[in-house]
Amino acid sequence: MIGSRAKFHFDNIYEQMNRKIGPYVLYQIGDLCCEPGYIVEPHRQKVYEISYIVSGNGVFQTDGVKVNVSKGMLYINRIGEKHEISSSTGEPLRYFYLGFTFADSSENEIVAKQKSFFDDPKNRMVDNAIGIQDLFMKMFTEMIAQDSFTEVMLETCMQQILIKTCRIFSQKKYHTYRINNDYTDQKLVYDIVHYIDTQTEDIRDLSGLSKIFGYSYTGIAQKFLSVMGETLKSYYSKRRFEKAKESILKGNSITMTAEIVGYKSIHAFSRAFNDHTGMTPTGFKKWAEANKQSSL
């Protein structure tokens, strides 16, 4: 890699270790936050690789074909492809990546389907990759834990990431929640609530619900208020800060937590968190730690 140095790089490489995890071989997993203009030199892929764009913009190039990438996109590389990356100078990339191969897919139908998917050159990139970020972060946590349960949990995490990737490409724009004409208001609002509850970290603009559910944003907001007795914005805000509290309690930094719940500025996040909870993120962290100790 050349260019400006990375801001931070959580990287685990297993090329020499040939680390077998269930039906998979883990080669590399990491979290790279780039400085402006950071470049990953051209290299030939030895393994399959999944990249998820957490934030920023840049260009991924595979076998001479350039693709502009941005937040929420999922990108796949296959064995033998020539790949390179360049980060934007204005909004630098941060992305998660997972490099792997299959140990043996011949006797496992599910793994065979996964391998077939990753071998298909049509499966290159998709945007709005809902839900994949949390799965990566769970796997990062397991990489750090390193206890007697680590191998089992890593296999589970890898399996979930690979299956989720296959589903994202097949479902594209979250077809599960397409609305039929016979939907009642209650069913629509139930689906919206479930969507917000399970995809909080991927929602950055509530107006985007219009595209997903097939109604105008005004119509969705009115139906939500009628059924739930509170505004859509209020409900989303509560879930957003519940997610922020969960992140802090898991030990994530305030900066990372702000990014997870969609704040570009840690100062804006701190003000909003204080307005919603009555204490700053740092104050909440200290309060939670004190209560944990007092209950021991």
Question: Which residues, listed in sequence order, are joined to residue 28 by a DSSP beta bridge?
Answer: 13, 99
Section 241-250 average pLDDT:
88
| Domains of the chain, earliest start first | 8-171 (2.60.120.10), 173-229 (no CATH), 231-296 (1.10.10)
* Side-chain-side CA neighbours of residue 233 (13 Å): 6
224 within 8 A of 157, measured Cβ to Cβ = no
Mean pLDDT of the chain: 84
What one-letter code names the amino acid at 228? M
- The answer to whether residue 134 scores a pLDDT higher than 90 is no
What one-letter code names the amino acid at 95? Y
Q: What's residue 183's pLDDT? A: 52
What is the tens place of the pLDDT at every residue in 262-273? 888 899 999 999
C-alpha distance from residue 191 to each of 43, 205, 220, 288 (Å): 44, 17, 11, 32
Band of pLDDT at residue 142, cut at 50, 70 and 90 = confident
Residues, the chain: 296
Look up the pTM and report it: 0.60
- The answer to whether residue 30 scores a pLDDT higher than 90 is no
- The answer to whether residue 101 scores a pLDDT higher than 90 is yes
Section 267-283 average pLDDT:
91
Rg (CA), the chain: 21
CA angle 214, 219, 225 (to 5 degrees): 125
Beta strand segments in 22-108, E: 24-33, 39-44, 48-55, 57-62, 65-70, 74-77, 82-87, 94-102
- The answer to whether residue 276 scores a pLDDT higher than 70 is yes
Alpha helices in the chain (DSSP H): 109-119, 132-145, 150-171, 185-199, 209-213, 217-228, 232-249, 254-260, 266-277, 281-294
CA 70, CA 55: separation in Å to the nearest integer? 7
